[in-house]
Structure 1
Amino acid sequence: MEGLCAREAPTLGRAVQVGIAGDRVMGVSFPETVPADADPEHPLLDRVFDYLDGATDHFDDVAVALTVPTEQRAVLEAARNVPYGETVDVARLARLAGLDDDDEDDLDTVRTALRENPVPLFIPDHRIAGPGATPADVADRLRDLEADSSD
């Protein structure tokens, strides 16, 4: 199934929207309301809502489409490997991505990659203590959900 899928997520106080093309996730967003043309039924949305209900899911098997510069790709791949329920800072993520955590240009690369992350949740920028594509209130809630279910 391809296209735009979305459902209202009371846990987040907004919707979760996923764009899918072929077998890859192209985008994730958290709009205030569900778009009228979005399909509410998709197996991936079922997984997301199980996760929002407290099920542990790393989503590391979800195929994502990344069309970003190579250095940003390395950052996003490193972010994808941050374990469920953990949070790292920008400098640590830079090191995980093979960048210099003392180089301001490298740290800017990390921050830019996180802000421009096309698939938050599946590349969990909420696990990074820094700027991300996930809205701050949603990121806080996702961190709380992971902390609660990892206890």
Structure 2
Amino acid sequence: MSTEVGVFARYYTQIEQAIAVGLASGRVVSVDFKSTVPSDADEDHTLLDRIDTYLSGDTDHLADVDIALTVPTDQRRVLEATRNIPHGEAVTLDRVLRMAGLDEDDTDNRSTARRALDENPIPLIVPDHRVRDTPSGAPSEIVTQLRNIEHIDTVS
């Protein structure tokens, strides 16, 4: 297991934002979008290189990135299901609920799923921008940009 710890960040001209990635024991624990690179962040990390490639239009699902989610179990199930949505595809909340093994007709499950996506601590790595008509852990303008990068049509 990697012992890599810290904040790594880089400014990306493709989205006109910095992305800060928090690592603990080599696992991603947070992804934040910022106007500038935090002064305490290291700008050199292979994950930042991969994000740059992704933002440039390459098909990188980032599914092999090690993550550490510290969220309630049902929310974890939703985020893990969301992580399995393929690059360039958009799905409904109902589909995510089914993928997570939750009853999509249960209003509590729907609320849990919406909360999980809204509070997603690692947007982009857990690509909540691929779920239609739901909140995201990323700012709405970033969600739009990520969908455009992946050529996702959320209307269909």
**TM-score (structure 1 length as normaliser):** 0.94
Equivalent residue in structure 2 for 1:13, among 16, 26, 37: 16
Describe how 1:57-136 pairs up with structure 2 within 5 A. Answer: 57-129=60-132, 130-136=134-140
1:5-30 per-position Cα deviation (integer Å, ceiling 9, x unaligned) = 11111111211110111220110010
Deviation at 1:73, TM superposition (A): 0.7
Amino acid at match of 1:140: T
Per the alignment, in what secondary structure is the counterpart of residue 57 of structure 2? coil
Deviation at 1:89, TM superposition (A): 1.6
Gap regions ≥5 residues in structure 2: none
Per the alignment, in what secondary structure is the counterpart of residue 88 of structure 1? coil
Per the alignment, in what secondary structure is the counterpart of residue 34 of structure 2? coil
Amino acid at match of 2:19: V
Residues matched between the structures, number: 148
Per the alignment, in what secondary structure is the counterpart of residue 78 of structure 1? helix
Q: How far, CA to CA, are the matches of 1:17 and 1:23 in structure 2?
A: 15
- Please identify runs of 4+ aligned residues in structure 1 that moved more than 6 A: none
Amino acid at match of 2:130: R
Deviation at 1:2, TM superposition (A): 2.4
Q: How far, CA to CA, are the matches of 2:25 and 2:46 in structure 1?
A: 14
Amino acid at match of 1:28: V
1:8-64 per-position Cα deviation (integer Å, ceiling 9, x unaligned) = 111112111101112201100101211111111111100000111111101111000
Deviation at 1:138, TM superposition (A): 0.6
Question: 1:143 and 2:126 equivalent?
Answer: no
Amino acid at match of 2:109: D
**TM-score (structure 2 length as normaliser):** 0.91
Amino acid at match of 1:53: S
